[in-house]
Chain A
């Protein structure tokens, strides 16, 4: 079943929730423009968690991108979409 952008966003929210339950209120409001660092305050370990969990959930490999290129939730969604297409 192909995933649409909304499905991808929901999956990312689930991953973020599992990384940091205490930020549930912030994660609930996450959208494509949310900044991973300034908006969500992801630590380097949680950033790693997001990437690894994304690999597991979507069956993709982050093999051709640096973490610095992933600034917003939308950047991660674009990368996933590109890999799935």
Chain B
């Protein structure tokens, strides 16, 4: 939707910009702009009392800023309610409280009056920014001696690991998979049961929720990289076109090739404790 500093008509959605945020209202006349709370200036914020839907004149609404008017495009015009209905709905809600900066704010209010549906594009944009943020996390941990073989998902992967003849390799594989579970939960909020894991032709396991790469070092360190873009991890050997860092204790070369900036999360497992020891940044 476009916003222009043009003359307003009754039922128009109007807004002002305060810092990096907008305050919205429904224009009825120069003496009546209906809004959820006063514009959040420092002075208004200091006022006591619950935030409520109220009417002010246009100057109080504008508080010295430029007033912009919504110019819905053709498809939005089809969805918008008649102007009289917008005004009727706004007036009917005068005095209502229950303000919430994220879930019930001034933009939700005006959208509901104009389109019949509450929404907040500012909240949607910020949520999108969070969900689409670049993620590339590497979890490193010492491999304990005797890793429990239970709670490994999916069952097919558990059977594969249980079938590894060499006890040390089997132990490493179990721990790597458990570290992957922790990484998936911490970085993507999903456990392996719900990570849409499947084995591709050739034996490589992939997830429908994130990309990952596993590696272990000669001196008993496990490494898991999880990302929302392609990622490849190698401990001990250097990958081509990679970012590398040598950790001192225990000494291990961490080599990673990925699209995003990388954070390293040390998770030094002591009897499978889940303590995260620290978060460091690869430069």
Contacts and interface: CB of A to CB of B under 8 A. Distances in A.
B130 A43 contact: no
Nearest to B104: A63
Interface string A27-71: 000000000000000011100110111011101011100111000
Contact of A48 (B45, B122, B133, B261): B122
Interface string A9-30: 0100110011001001000000
Contacts, number: 57
5 contacts: A7-B276, A24-B281, A45-B126, A48-B102, A52-B126
B21 interface: yes
Nearest to A44: B21
B254 to A, nearest CB: 19
- Main SS of chain A's interface residues? helix
Interface centre among A21, A44, A52, A68 (most CB of B within 10 A): A52
Interface of A: 1, 7, 10, 13-14, 17-18, 21, 24, 43-45, 48-49, 51-53, 55-57, 59, 61-63, 66-68
Interface residues of B, number: 26
Interface of B: 19-21, 40, 45, 99-103, 122-123, 126-127, 129-131, 133, 185, 189, 261, 263, 274, 276, 279, 281
- 7 closest A-B pairs by beta carbon, nearest first, are A45-B20, A53-B130, A44-B21, A52-B127, A18-B133, A48-B126, A52-B126
